[in-house]
Structures are given as C-alpha cells and as structure tokens.
Amino acid sequence: MNRFFQSFSIKSSNFNKSKILNLTNHSQPIPFSLRQLIFFGKLLLKNQSNSRFDEIEQGLVKGANLVKTQLSVRLAHQIRQFESLPYIVTSNQFLNKAYDLYLEGFHKIADFPEISNASENKDWCELLKSLLTDHKLIIPHLAIGVAESANHLSNSQIEQFLTQILHSRIARRVLAEHHIALTNQFQINHQIQDKSLRCLGIIDTELHLAETIQNCIKLTQTTLANRHPSILSNDKLTIQINGEKNVKFAYISDHLEYILFELLLYSSRQTIHHAALHQTSISSLPINIQIASSPTHITVRISDNAGGILSPKRGSFSDEDAVPPSVSKPEMFSFLQLTSNMTGFQKLIGSGGMEGKVSEQVKIGQSTSNTQENYDVTEVQEAHLRIGLPLSLIYAQFLGGTLQMSSIPGSSDFVLCVPKLGTTCEPKIQPV
C-alpha cells in the first residue's frame, strides 16, 4: 500500500481509492468563467419571466448534476494533491484532519444519487450547505499543518501547495454557493422578478464599485474603532475616493469586498501605527483610493502615507535621487508568513473556522475581549489578518485579475486590476 495512504487516519474500508484514481486519471475539472455563470442564471431568469417553471426545474436539476460531477472530480484531484507532500508531512495531525474533511466530502458527494427533481435538488443543496460549513475548518488546519512541517518543505513547495489548494477551494465554493443561491432564487420563490434583476446567484451583474468601496471603508473604520476605541474616538481615519465613481460591472461581490476590505484594513492599521510612532494625527495621513476604468479592465489604487516599507538593502533616499526607489513587495502576499505563531489559527479553529468573507471579519470585530466564547478575539483577528493579503491575491487571480503592492519611503500602494468582461476562466494551477 502507498505510504501516503497509510499515513492518514481514515480507515481504508472507507476509502474508495479506485473511484478517486479513476476520476483523477480520466477526468479533469472543466474551467468556468464569470460569463458562463451569468449566462446560466439568465436562462433561468428568462424562463421565470415567461412562467416556464418546468424548464426552471429542469435547468436547476441539470445544474445540480453538473456541480455534483465537478465537485467529485475537483475533490478527487485535491485528495491526490496531498500525495505530492513528503511522508513525514502527511503524518501531521492538522494536515491529516484537512485530508479527512476532503475525503469525507468526496464520499458524501460521490455517493449522493443523481438528482432528478426539485425535491432531490433541495436535499442536494442541504448537503452542500453542510459541507461548506464543515470545510470552514480547512484553512486553519492547513496553515498550522504546513507551519509545523515547514522544515520538511521548501519555500516554493509551501507557496505552490497552498496556492493550488486555495484556488481549488475557491472554485468549489463558487460552484456550490452559486447553485444554492440560484435554487433559492428561482426554485423556492416562484414570484416573477423584474427582467433587470441585479443579482444572479452569487453574482452582482451591476456591482457599483464606488458604493462597494464606501461600504468597505465603513466596515474598516468600525472594525478598527472597536479594536482601538481610545485612539480613534477623537482622531478619525481619512479615506478619500477619487476617479470614475460611477463604474458598474459584473462580479462576485463577496470576492471583491474581501479584497478591498483586507487592503483597506492593512493600510489603515499601518496608518494608525505610523501616526503613533511619529506622534502625529491619524487624520493628517489620508488614504487615497483612485478608480480607473478601461474597456476591458477596472483598476483600483489604494495609496497610504504610512511611511512605506523600506528595502533592506536601501533604507532611505537622498534629494540627489531623481526618482525615489520604488520597491515591489510580492512577499506581502506570501504564505510563508503563516509559518510562525500558530496560536491565532488554533483559536480560529475553536471559533468555527474561516470562510473567507468580510461578514465573519466584521462579526469578530464586534466581539469584545470579555466574550464567553472559548477563543481569544484578538488572536483570531490576527490570524485573519495574516492570511488576508495572500488570500486576497488568490481571489484577485481567480477571475483573471492582478494584485500588486509597491512601496517608496513615505507611502505604499496597492493596485488591484480586475477584468470587466467576465470571459477569463479560472486559472489552471499545476500540481506541486
């Protein structure tokens, strides 16, 4: 027997290796784009507008079986991905737990019978909801497991392994959440909606970028005010939005909100720290957000005045320099920063895991240190922050976007670029 399979705790009698091997050898995930997800939603919307409820049910049943097939294939490949790790790594208890969750999910999905009607689709959606909840524990387990095994993995292995796993995770959650949302939207509620319905499943087809940014600003300010009430009670963060404020486009709102919130949270925290270090007012260090739009892409630049991140090779620049040195900071999005201080991720497991949405960040921020829950709010917040930037990069890349950071002495810039057309398919990440 393969030593890899021996290292995991689940019993071989519960492990249908032949089914997984068959899927990984003969089936590949079918990449999907935002436009394809929207197109399917519009077909359901058209049938609903014409009161063709039988065709809606047929469409949802077909979609349910497609999601079922794709999740089985994707989970099978994810399970086999663990084979790329050295034996001593696979024996780690936290990676073992993550593996067991993947394996259990695969069996539940693969063993679920083919969906043929609305009632069975309802049961299918309930299964998906339960799996989405169960798998919230995977990110902290992976983070701790990889950190504890860091001595047995190269930096490139850590980066590639976690990048591949999180890309795959996002794809699976998009498929599952989109199908659940469409079912709720079109099957459970037969009321005819207006043809200009804004949301189709989890996609906002007319996402107003400036409004989304403004909402993230409010959430950031509220989160930090709860964290630093004595500091921010009399000295407020100044965040300004400039540029093309009327831009609208189709996007997964949860993904964009998460990225913007994490970038604003990072820049705001750096601003507060810099102001305290130099004994200056926070409001005198504004954060500027610039929106630009082209026919194919939208760019959001978030610029702070929090001192910048100095290069280790060159700590300052002189007036004789024609242009101050600009330093790209790809390491800010690296998973290597997760390989130390695992206390926060252990508390994150106790808090119920991590979904990767702004709502859970806000909920934690509203908690106090006197909570009766069995986890420490501050350490859970820190765990979210440490994985926030790396996960934001994954979210940006998932639909064909880019996310970069650059810094000069005095300030730093985040530049998020996302495609407007929705034609880019999810990236194909090569196994480690």
Phi, psi dihedral angles at 251 (to 5 degrees): -165, 165
Do 196 and 208 lie in one domain? The reply is: no
Determine which helix (DSSP H) or strand (DSSP E) holds 267, and give its type and residue range: helix 253-277
Rg (CA), the chain: 23
Determine which helix (DSSP H) or strand (DSSP E) holds 145, and give its type and residue range: helix 138-148
Which residue range is the domain that position 99 belongs to?
A: 3-200
Do 170 and 224 lie in one domain? The reply is: no
Give me the residue label for tokens 């300052």.
316
- Smallest CA-to-CA distance from 281 within 235, 239, 240, 238 is with 235
For residue 429, tell me if it sits in a domain.
no
- Report pLDDT for 232: 74
For residue 427, tell me if it sits in a domain.
no
For residue 25, tell me if it sits in a domain.
yes
* Residue 287 near residue 264, CB atoms below 8 Å: yes
Do 223 and 335 lie in one domain? The reply is: yes
- Report pLDDT for 426: 81
376: left (phi over 0), alpha (psi -120 to 50) or beta: beta
- Report pLDDT for 327: 63
Do 300 and 394 lie in one domain? The reply is: yes
> Which pairing describes strands 248-252 and 402-408: parallel, antiparallel, or unpaired?
unpaired
- Report pLDDT for 14: 45
Last residue within a domain, chosen from 168, 200, 232: 200
Give me the residue label for tokens 């049938």.
47
* Residue 139 near residue 95, CB atoms below 8 Å: no
For residue 345, tell me if it sits in a domain.
yes
Do 31 and 107 lie in one domain? The reply is: yes
- Report pLDDT for 13: 36
Do 159 and 224 lie in one domain? The reply is: no
Contacts of 299 (CB under 8 A, 6+ apart): 290, 291, 292, 293, 415, 416, 417
Do 220 and 327 lie in one domain? The reply is: yes
> SS3 of 216, please?
helix
For residue 410, the tally of other CB atoms under 10 A from its CB is 13
* Residue 158 near residue 150, CB atoms below 8 Å: yes
C-alpha distances (whole Å) from 284 to each of 119, 215, 281, 368, 400 are: 59, 22, 5, 29, 36
- Report pLDDT for 345: 78
> How does pLDDT run along the chain (432 residues), one tens digit per residue?
343 334 444 433 344 566 777 777 778 889 999 999 999 999 888 888 777 888 999 999 999 999 999 999 999 999 888 877 888 888 899 999 999 999 999 999 999 999 999 999 999 999 999 999 999 999 989 988 988 888 888 888 889 999 999 999 999 999 999 999 999 998 755 555 554 578 999 999 999 999 999 999 999 998 888 887 777 777 889 999 999 999 999 999 999 999 999 999 999 999 998 988 889 999 999 999 999 999 999 999 999 998 887 655 444 444 444 444 456 667 888 888 777 666 777 777 777 778 888 888 777 766 654 444 444 667 777 777 788 899 999 999 999 999 999 988 888 999 999 999 888 888 776 555
Last residue within a domain, chosen from 169, 200, 231: 200
For residue 428, tell me if it sits in a domain.
no
Question: Which 8-state DSSP code applies to residue 27?
Answer: -
For residue 61, tell me if it sits in a domain.
yes
| CATH code of the domain covering residue 55 | 1.20.140.20
Question: Exposed, middle or buried, 297 (CB in 10 Å: 0-12/13-18/19+)?
Answer: middle
Do 181 and 218 lie in one domain? The reply is: no
| CATH code of the domain covering residue 242 | 3.30.565.10
Distance of CA 339 to the CA centre of its chain: 19
- Smallest CA-to-CA distance from 74 within 30, 130, 121 is with 30
Last residue within a domain, chosen from 200, 234, 258: 200
Do 24 and 150 lie in one domain? The reply is: yes
Count structural domains, the chain. Answer: 2
Do 315 and 179 lie in one domain? The reply is: no
Using alpha carbons only, give the angle 312, 318, 322 rounded to the nearest 5 degrees. Answer: 105
- Alpha-carbon torsion, ordered 249, 185, 259, 128, to 10 deg: -140
| The pTM of the whole model exceeds 0.95 | no
Do 147 and 219 lie in one domain? The reply is: no
